[in-house]
Amino acid sequence: MPDHPLRIAVIGGLASGPAAAAEAVRHGADVDLYEAGAHVSVGACEIPYFVADQLEGKADLVVHSAEELERTRGFRVFTRHRVTAIDARSGRLTVTALAHNASREERYDRFILATGARANRLNVPGEDAAGVFSVRDYADAVEIKRWLRTEDVRHVVVVGGGYVGVEMAEAMRDRGLRATILDPSGRVLASSLHPDMGAPLAAAIKASGVAVRAELPTEILADHEGRVVAVRTDRGELIGSQAVIVAIGVTPRTDLAESAGVRVGASGALATDERMRTNVRTLWACGDVAEVHRAIDGRPVHWPLAPVARRTARVAARNASARRGDADRFEGVTPSVAVRAFGVEVAAAGLSEASARDAGFDALAVQIRHVTRTTVQPGSKPIDVRLVVDRDRGRILGGQIVSREGAALRADVLVPLIRYGATARELAEDLDLVYNPPLSPSVDPLVIAGSAALRALGRRG
Amino acid sequence: MPDHPLRIAVIGGLASGPAAAAEAVRHGADVDLYEAGAHVSVGACEIPYFVADQLEGKADLVVHSAEELERTRGFRVFTRHRVTAIDARSGRLTVTALAHNASREERYDRFILATGARANRLNVPGEDAAGVFSVRDYADAVEIKRWLRTEDVRHVVVVGGGYVGVEMAEAMRDRGLRATILDPSGRVLASSLHPDMGAPLAAAIKASGVAVRAELPTEILADHEGRVVAVRTDRGELIGSQAVIVAIGVTPRTDLAESAGVRVGASGALATDERMRTNVRTLWACGDVAEVHRAIDGRPVHWPLAPVARRTARVAARNASARRGDADRFEGVTPSVAVRAFGVEVAAAGLSEASARDAGFDALAVQIRHVTRTTVQPGSKPIDVRLVVDRDRGRILGGQIVSREGAALRADVLVPLIRYGATARELAEDLDLVYNPPLSPSVDPLVIAGSAALRALGRRG
């Protein structure tokens, strides 16, 4: 057992990497962080608002500079350093300083893989034209803004109707541009939101002038200088466009880890145990490169969102910096997500019907429409709640909420209900949610949904 | 065992009475409802907004007319009928029709007591002057509005700085009147909010021009026609005033039940078991007249708020209409409350430090200030969270939240955490609350408070 501090290398400097490094330092480790890009600690969640010029007070998205992190958090930061190999057995890491293309070896006791995920590509001809962008990191965000500022952009095609696609389409609209969303489903948030819940957001998007088309790009066309001019779709149509934003999900960057012998799980991310340790004894993983297990059923999933990255970074760092490696465990994820776009809040927590059935639950869903405040109060808005419950015990498995106000925080109410195994009956009959006329209706929409679920289950309610 | 439907008398027609009657009908009972006043199904929660002329679409506060209830819910409604005696042994009820002052007897198998609570009086000389009002029922609300419309009112003294007092002071301000709140504590919401949490609301009240004074009225002075002209306080001051609103809490109306042999509990309300049954076999109680037990420690409390009234009405009705009387049980209350006034949301759930210590917990409190959205987003507001935890296991016992947005719904997140026994650590480290820049900061204020509690408990965080 060495009595020097454990030397830990963290690979990856966005979001989870710096969080893990800081946590490891707090637990006594000696930490170096490597990041191939020029910036550290950049979150992707804020990019749409940065692109829309809506952020206040901060010139850019860099939450912490490398210098600030070194000074305040106590770990060394190497930006523009690409780690090309890890030899777990000997504890050797090979890293290239991109500035002068020089490679060197360093020795560490342990490694934390925080290499994140890369934006999925379209894989269509012309994809490398100027004016085609991903929405993944700070460089993407800066390039999109520069393009919109310097080019004569009037119409932007956003490929993908997920959260990022919707937010980017809104950002384009907010910049005064026309935007069209292409999604094979013909709707937005198709993977999070049941079709019956989609109408309010679809109507708001339509009213904003943004189009949603059930088409897929098959080719990007560029002018003689290589600038995008149009997108060809699988219906053979040409959509004139001076910028294309591709937001069709992400894929974990597992290459480095795989070459070090780390196993990839069913979700495509690095398989981990509850301590966020990989199958290689000295390697932990966190953030968007790591697989996590779902709390409700233990199934391994890839859930690349910031709150989970923060949690896995903490667990990986505590275990990597503890001599015995069993200092903390990840208690599972209750997948939850929220977006506000075009004036509509959409939030989901836990399982959808489809994912619940896929997980083996005998799932039942109910959907209700209620109001956000007593109807006689000014400002009351419609609110839709869809609740997914287990037919067997009436357990709440998930929910979706859509409204112009109060949807996201109501998803936050569902999260502990799902997490602690509450039943529809407990939600409908036993939960003391607050009532005050300007803040809520006399019976909360969640409680109304719980009662509807009870009735659908054939239990009294 | 009779094979006719069970005959049930519900005594009291506000909020919990009609709810209990409707539920009993659904379960096969034959139900009569008696109400001494002229109206049924009136909620008290909306009165301040009614008085402020802020309710839309409805001319008044009567949620359902007696005729509508009879037609749609299937029970008979007798308004202006005062029940003067119940003989539980013989199943006889004596009732006076106030319209013609005629008494009669009726026979029932069972009784549900929903007599509610009366507004506390000041018990000072001059209290019966014209222009001195309670805020309890529809008649109060109508009288206050008529007085404000017909009299030359410029300054209103509101006695009591609780939720109702604050809402009524705001209603007066919204009507363009000056208002002064008298509360012996010198602050508002003193019983729900720790002094360290009071500043934002106190500042907003001050900015609105409403005064808060640490004084108690000792006398109401009236002119020669009996109209209030001033309030004398315990400091010997005279406050000129053309209307006085007394909002110093309520007392359960237990007289009828007590004369029928029902025991009053430690809280002053009717003692009940988990089935909402009193000590008299054929008598159940619900709503503001009934005592309930607190879920966290089983202590009997009086918590006269609408959501609890709805719950106790349901339980009492199901058991009263079941032959065996054990059809449902009340699972305990997690006391929670919210108010929005002067642009500030104040919410509390579970136990305060004082009530936690009083209940025997070794309680610890932490308080944090955070923001409601990412700081770079426009519209982000400060938010204060005070979290009360048990030093022993770190269990979350209660919390208070104050902000210009998102306080009430965050109390609704605390309710299941308290209810299901979650710890500060689970809140700080394991809970997947959503993150989206326009909707929340990257780490929710509740999670920040959980982390602060962990640190204060001396656990890693």
Tokens for A452?
Answer: 């509807």
Q: Closest Cα to residue B227, out of B129, B142, B154?
A: B129
B121-132: pLDDT as tens digits? 999 999 999 999
Residues A283/A256, Cβ–Cβ less than 8 Å: no
- Between chains, do B436 and A340 touch, taking CB under 8 Å as contact? yes
CB contact under 8 A, A439 and B43: no
Domain that holds residue B215: 121-248
B331 touches chain A (CB under 8 A): yes
pLDDT at A461: 41
ipTM reported for the complex surpasses 0.90 = yes
Examine the domain organization and report whether A114 and A155 are in the same domain.
Answer: no
Q: Is B328 domain-assigned? A: no
Examine the domain organization and report whether A47 and A17 are in the same domain.
Answer: yes
Strand partners, B62: B42
Tell whether B388 is covered by a domain: yes
- Residue-wise pLDDT tens digits, B1-27: 456 899 999 999 988 999 999 999 999
CB contact under 8 A, A412 and B413: yes
For chain B, positions 57-76, list CB contacts with chain A under 8 A. 57-58
pLDDT at B459: 64
B413 vs A: CB within 8 A:
yes
What's the length of chain B? 461
Do B315 and B394 belong together in one domain? Answer: no
Q: How far is CA B343 from the centre of its chain?
A: 21
Establish if B461 belongs to a structural domain.
no
Q: Which residue of A has its CA nearest to B311?
A: A429
Residue B400 is encoded by which pair of tokens? Answer: 């208070």
Pick the residue of B42, B434, B447, B455 with the most A CBs within 10 A to test the interface with A by mutation: B434
Same domain, B360 and B421: yes
Q: Which position has the token pair 């400091």?
A: B235
Distance in angstroms (rounded) separating the CA atoms of residues B391 and A207: 53
Which CATH number do you get for residue A241? Answer: 3.50.50.60
Q: Considering the domain boundaries, does residue B427 fall inside one? A: yes
Domain end point (choices B248, B279, B305): B248
Kindly determine whether residue A308 and residue B432, on different chains, have CB atoms separated by under 8 Å. yes
Provide the residue type at A426 as one letter. Answer: E
pTM of the model: 0.94
Q: Over chain A, what is the mean pLDDT?
A: 93
- Residue B268 inside a domain? The answer is yes
Provide, as residue numbers in chain B, all residues whose Cβ is less than 8 Å from the Cβ of A411. Answer: 434
Judged by DSSP in three states, B259 sits in helix
Q: Choose the final residue of a domain: B229, B248, B267.
A: B248
- Rounded mean pLDDT of B301-327? 93
How many pairs of residues across A and B have Cβ atoms under 8 Å apart? Answer: 194
Q: Report pLDDT digits (tens) over A265-279.
A: 999 999 999 999 999
Identity of residue A286: C
Same domain, A188 and A282: no
DSSP codes joined into one string, A122-178: ---TTTTSBTEEE-SSHHHHHHHHHHHHHS---EEEEE--SHHHHHHHHHHHHTT-E
Residue bearing tokens 């300007």: A438
More confidently predicted of A360 and B41: A360
In this complex, the residue of A58, A416, A432 whose CB is nearest that of residue B333 is: A432
Q: Which residues of B touch A334 (CB under 8 A)?
A: 431-432
| Helix pair A306-320, A16-26: axis angle to 10 deg | 30
The confidence score (pLDDT) of residue B461 equals: 41
**A171 pLDDT above the threshold of 90:** yes
Q: Is B286 exposed, middle or buried (0-12, 13-18, 19+ CB in 10 A)?
A: buried
The single residue listed with the structure tokens 């039943």 is A423
Instruction: Tell me the CB-side half-sphere exposure of residue A418, using CA atoms within 13 A.
Output: 33
Interface of B with A in 197-236 (CB under 8 A): none
B61 pLDDT more than 70: no
Question: Per-residue pLDDT for A343 more than 60?
Answer: yes
Nearest CA in chain B to A432: B334
Tens digits of residue pLDDT in B130-139? 999 999 888 8
User: CB of B28 within 8 Å of any CB in chain A?
Assistant: no
The phi-psi region of residue B445 (left if phi > 0; otherwise alpha if psi is between -120 and 50; otherwise beta) is alpha
Q: Which residues of B touch A331 (CB under 8 A)?
A: 426, 429-430
Could you give the CA distance from residue A372 to residue A370 in angstroms, rounded to a whole number? Answer: 7
- How many structural domains compose chain A? 3
For the record, the structure tokens of A16 come out as 């989870």
Tell me which chain A residues have a C-beta less than 8 angstroms from the C-beta of B308: 432
A381 pLDDT band, cuts 50/70/90, is very high
Q: Is residue B325 part of a domain?
A: no
CA angle, residues A261, A265, A267, in degrees to nearest 5: 140
Tell me the per-residue pLDDT of B210-257, one tens digit each, with 9 for 90 and over. Answer: 999 999 999 999 999 999 999 999 999 999 999 999 999 999 999 999
> Which of B189, B219, B248 marks a domain boundary?
B248
Instruction: Assess contact for A33 and A76: CB atoms under 8 A.
Output: yes
Q: Can you read off the two tokens belonging to residue B355?
A: 């009530």
Do residue A55 and residue A83 come from a single domain? yes
Do B165 and B262 sit in the same domain of this protein?
no
Mean pLDDT of A186-207: 96
